[in-house]
Amino acid sequence: MLAGLLAHSGWAVNGDLLPPTPANPRGFFESSAVNTLNDDLLEPHLARSAVPVARRHAWLAALPAPLDLTPSPAVRTRIAETVPPSPFVVKDPRLTMTLPAWVDALDGVALIAIVRHPAAVVDSLLREVARDVEYYEGLALDAERAFVVWQCLADHLIAHAEAHDITVLVHEELVSDGIRSALGRLATAVGGGIDSGFVERGLRRSTPDRALPGDVAERHAALLDLAVR
């Protein structure tokens, strides 16, 4: 949603965006070149994932935070060639893990993260795995493992927030009466006006009804704290 909101407001996106799917009919606003670059960065670390994943599922890796990803000159060049002209928006869930390489290669970018309730994320992941059996073949993902993935990604985001100025927004605010405050914080972070026309008010793809493991609940609370700073 966040990348689509910025794209709708005039920020440039790559031309090789992933196509929409039935699960996400408005589009992912993710570049295949960005995804491939991040898969290349993550692949050497995948053996350490707490949830076994193949390269094509690297975005679901559960890796310890933070990763040592100092970019080589070749990676710096790839990053520079991958991003569109400024002002631009680059979105990829893998960035939660690969951010150190990107911030080291790009100066002066605004960092925006959006946090969604972990139970909603788990429900969404499990539905998607059941829907696209071919793509997710070989991935053993149940609710317990999906929570492990969410927790590891939360650990990465918390670590990044300690090292960088990151604006953290809450998904539920963007689709509720809290949208004005959320969009105001977003506009301040990116230094420009935001057209809210892309947001579907009241959109909630799933209702969180799963009990959260204790560690997951703690991470979620910590991220919500970051969102109000």
For residue range 131-163, what is the model confidence (pLDDT) as tens digits?
999 999 999 999 999 999 999 999 999 999 999
Query: For position 20, what pLDDT does the model report?
Result: 86
Summarize the confidence of residues 86-113 as an average pLDDT: 94
Query: For position 137, what pLDDT does the model report?
Result: 96
Q: Count other C-beta atoms under 10 Å from residue 165's C-beta.
A: 9
Helix (H, G, I), strand (E, B) or coil at 167: strand
* Count of alpha carbons within 13 angstroms of residue 202, beta-carbon side: 0
Selection from 20, 95, 223, 185 nearest residue 4 by Cα: 20
pLDDT at 204 over 60: no
pLDDT at 181 over 70: yes
Query: For position 192, what pLDDT does the model report?
Result: 82
pLDDT at 96 over 70: yes
pLDDT at 208 over 90: no
Question: Which CA distances in Å does 9 have to 3, 110, 189?
Answer: 10, 15, 14
Q: Determine the Cα–Cα distance for residues 83 and 109; give it in Å rounded to an integer.
A: 11
pLDDT at 202 over 60: no
Summarize the confidence of residues 189-215 as an average pLDDT: 77
State the alpha helices, DSSP H only, in 90-170.
95-105, 118-131, 143-163
Summarize the confidence of residues 182-192 as an average pLDDT: 88
Query: For position 45, what pLDDT does the model report?
Result: 97
Q: Which residues contact 208 (CB under 8 A, 6 or more apart)?
A: 117, 118, 119, 120, 123
Q: Write down the mean pLDDT value for the chain.
A: 91
Query: For position 12, what pLDDT does the model report?
Result: 92
pLDDT (tens digit per residue) in 22-79: 778 888 899 999 999 999 999 999 999 999 999 999 999 999 999 999 999 999 999 9
Q: Which residues contact 72 (CB under 8 A, 6 or more apart)?
A: none
pLDDT at 200 over 80: no
> 0.95 exceeded by the pTM?
no
Answer for the pair 173, 85: CB distance below 8 angstroms, yes or no. Answer: no
